[in-house]
Structure 1
């Protein structure tokens, strides 16, 4: 039995049917390049001729020299028609691909209800369409839509559909769980039955996640004899999504010892998944298996203590095998092991038995009790640890800020911030306007500091989130603000908490600047540099 599995990615076709996902031709090309680099065997690009984006995509990928096969999608000829004259089949040929997916009905209920034709005509539509594309030299995947439902309802007809496709020359017979309602034991049984009735047929599987079993059903199908798996990156797709290749591939390769994309390519899986989520503008669930940000994150002190001795105690694989990494979170559940691990990551020397460690653990737990959350604010946490370790140089200190927000009838809201900070013993007072109070504060603080620290020109706020911590207090409730900042090289997150959203924002904003200035020159050097430039008392 071959241990090789062909990976068929349909992110660019079936994945785009997911709610909130829309990809331009440029987006599709970028994702296709990533998928090709990942090493998938087939990339289904879309439906040629259905829209201008797909037409442009198929034109552009022809000259990219992919090792992956680019596949066009279409349906069998119309009922009562002729394959040679079918517009849909002609568009597949015109796309320039060497492989095509044809979808056809395998559930008798669908033949009568959706196609409104006879069972015999449906078989003729399947045979004629596949034979036509085979005569033109294409590799053909036949996707038997609703195959598992069809087999449960009328197994003889479902098998007849597959036999017809096989006799017409189909290279792959793909069983689709289109409604996503099948269970793993049903999938295994039906695949086994088809394998026995059409011996030697190259089988594939295409599952949907409506019962959250798409990955499990795919694995069951493979163990029963399937050798091509279809799915999407991050499980994108209509309704509840398609089978998630980001879980299927490592499960097959690392757990079941099948060859899919090779170990080196598997190490790029996390990067590929996150890149595609950025292009699709869809946030990845942090707890997504294998590639999620929290897939190998540890929070409880007992867990962290154990993984520091041997990561196998609480990790089922080495994260690096899929390109991910281990993370230790710090929270009210943290123990000394969490702090030591984070300190080590930052290059700090913390003695687990020292009073210093105990003090900082207590402080973090107190802050978490007040509403701070350091799991998503590593930069604020690092500032705390460096301060506790005596390694934090305060390059500037806060003195005061004031806000002016003015709304005039018929005019947009105007926000202006006035900020006073002390740098190298000198008070700096600045004012700036902004698109809202937080932006005004950011502009005013940056204006005060950038003359001393020019690298701040390179950073900007990338994201801003506010969460009400106790809604029973209504507008007087305490809020937590998380700010993400970026420069040309890195991104970092800071946190602030207060019953006043402006104060919480200011706290997170100041931390973002302090973190950006880590490793900068000392206050004394700042003063000397400012004096040379004539900035003192400016």
Structure 2
């Protein structure tokens, strides 16, 4: 059962509109193919009621009405009246699963609580509702008041309820406790359908899910991206992967390839960004960074596990940066349909490592730019070398540049102002050439390109066309800073002339 629309919406700062809830409900049931969805809490707001009405109207037309569940309360007729207005037919009744909660929050005896529950359940069934029952704070109940839990369950199984829902409300359980507590209840009540509802406060939700599965739980509660109160709930994608790979005897209907899609949709609707390293759905989890890994994949798929990205509709990517080896870069070039001689590949690898050391973000889309930059670089023995430079840009003051440059083993230093930082750099350079009584080429065209999908720290390619006498020549520079890439292109030109 996916409870993103109910428990997931209890994430701090998350609120879904009625249309967003309907869209997610449709996708979860029709494409992801979860068995049930919990869509709301009764009596929260008018907007919540309208959202549930939209969902139940759609679900009734599709024959999914029995898959739509709503959290309700022991509140006389109030929740029942709300259910009738909403059109929902399955209620998940919230009751007390620990003596501590019962005594201090409700201030009632077990007998009083059980009596109210019995009246409400019988009334709900008479109205045509299907009833499941949550034992709130059940995990603490099993730790500190087990006799109360069993006293309650002994009563509960005499009532016309469909499922018993066991929440680790505060996310306190260990995998061993999850196994032991669920096992006790499954063995004691073999004819009842038992659901386990994990929270993630100790980052143990998926491990606890595994414990409950080994114990024989019949149902699991999850949320997309692990949304939920405090640290969230057991995430849908990880839970599905665990069942597929570690519990082959358990059959589930979920479509693995839809998990990435629903994850992205919920990320957009909730405003809660998915960490890049979130298992299964994170942006970087199928990206190999170390060159040795790419090399191993190339030779015998040495770094491939059962978590193969294709099953989730994704692809293995090979990161480009200071840890990249030739194999990483070759893999990315193959994806672009590019092949390079070994000598050129070494040069490109060296340049990518240089950029990685500067913490530049390098993407596959940058590769054609880097190749062009590297393969038209000037010879190692340079006649013109830029030793140092300082660029300034101040409010209400003209940009300025100070540079130090070596031309044929002679060092020159000059400064100048200009209409921009690059213009100031060029003016300082022209002063030096004037001292040497050398002609300076005319800049006739200046083009800047950023690779597709580039962001604020993307690599930037500057291509400058120079007029040298009656001829034209082009040089290019590459850096994440546009001015620096233009300066690189300029120094290349100086060496070529």
Q: Secondary structure at the match of 1:331?
A: coil
Deviation for aligned residue 1:23: 1.5
Count matched residues: 411
Quote the residue 1:266 is aligned against. 256
Q: Secondary structure at the match of 1:63?
A: helix
Quote the residue 2:412 is aligned against. none
Quote the residue 2:33 is aligned against. 39
Quote the residue 1:24 is aligned against. 17
Is 1:341 aligned with 2:331?
yes
Q: Secondary structure at the match of 1:380?
A: helix
Deviation for aligned residue 1:91: 0.6
Q: Secondary structure at the match of 2:361?
A: coil
> 2:459, 2:13 → 1: CA distance?
25
Distance 1:18 1:387, change over 3 A: same
> 1:463, 1:120 → 2: CA distance?
63
> 1:45, 1:30 → 2: CA distance?
12
Quote the residue 1:49 is aligned against. 43
> 1:113, 1:363 → 2: CA distance?
66
Distance 1:159 1:382, change over 3 A: farther
Deviation for aligned residue 1:334: 1.1
Q: Tell me which of 94, 112, 118 is aligned to 1:121.
A: 112
Stretch moving more, 104-113 or 139-148: 139-148
Quote the residue 1:278 is aligned against. 268
TM-score by length of 1: 0.70
Quote the residue 2:369 is aligned against. 383
- Structure 2: unaligned runs, 5 residues or longer: 377-390, 398-418, 424-441, 461-477, 487-497
> 2:63, 2:339 → 1: CA distance?
48
Which aligned pairs between 1:17-416 and structure 2 lie closer than 5 A?
A: 17-36=10-29, 37-64=31-58, 65-66=61-62, 68=64, 69-77=67-75, 83=76, 86-257=77-248, 258-262=250-254, 265-311=255-301, 313-351=303-341, 354-374=342-362, 377-385=363-371, 388=374
> 2:372, 2:122 → 1: CA distance?
70
Rg larger in structure? 2
Which aligned pairs between 1:458-477 and structure 2 lie closer than 5 A?
A: 464=456
Distance 1:137 1:503, change over 3 A: farther
Deviation for aligned residue 1:496: 5.2
Distance 1:386 1:74, change over 3 A: farther
> 1:295, 1:152 → 2: CA distance?
37
> 1:61, 1:483 → 2: CA distance?
46
Distance 1:406 1:38, change over 3 A: farther
> 2:244, 2:136 → 1: CA distance?
27
Instruction: Confirm or deny: 8 A CA contact 2:125 2:160 kept in the other structure.
Output: yes
Offset from partner CA, 1:260-317 (integer Å, 9 cap, x none): 224xx21111122122112212211111111211221101111111112343534332
> 1:318, 1:335 → 2: CA distance?
22
Deviation for aligned residue 1:248: 0.4
Q: Secondary structure at the match of 1:313?
A: coil
> 2:49, 2:459 → 1: CA distance?
41
Distance 1:93 1:166, change over 3 A: farther
Quote the residue 1:488 is aligned against. none
Deviation for aligned residue 1:385: 3.5
Is 1:11 aligned with 2:4?
yes
Q: Secondary structure at the match of 2:157?
A: helix
Instruction: Confirm or deny: 8 A CA contact 1:371 1:497 kept in the other structure.
Output: no
Q: Secondary structure at the match of 2:57?
A: coil
> 1:463, 1:140 → 2: CA distance?
51
> 1:269, 1:89 → 2: CA distance?
34
Distance 1:108 1:48, change over 3 A: closer
Deviation for aligned residue 1:89: 2.4
- Structure 1: unaligned runs, 5 residues or longer: 1-7, 78-82, 391-400, 408-415, 430-444, 450-455, 465-480, 485-494, 508-538
Quote the residue 1:515 is aligned against. none
Offset from partner CA, 1:108-127 (integer Å, 9 cap, x none): 01101011111111112222
> 1:149, 1:283 → 2: CA distance?
32
Which aligned pairs between 1:396-475 and structure 2 lie closer than 5 A?
A: 464=456
Distance 1:355 1:463, change over 3 A: closer
Deviation for aligned residue 1:342: 0.5
> 2:131, 2:421 → 1: CA distance?
68
Distance 1:325 1:125, change over 3 A: farther
Instruction: Confirm or deny: 8 A CA contact 2:27 2:262 kept in the other structure.
Output: yes
Deviation for aligned residue 1:71: 1.3
Instruction: Confirm or deny: 8 A CA contact 1:303 1:314 kept in the other structure.
Output: no
Q: Secondary structure at the match of 2:266?
A: helix
Distance 1:463 1:11, change over 3 A: farther
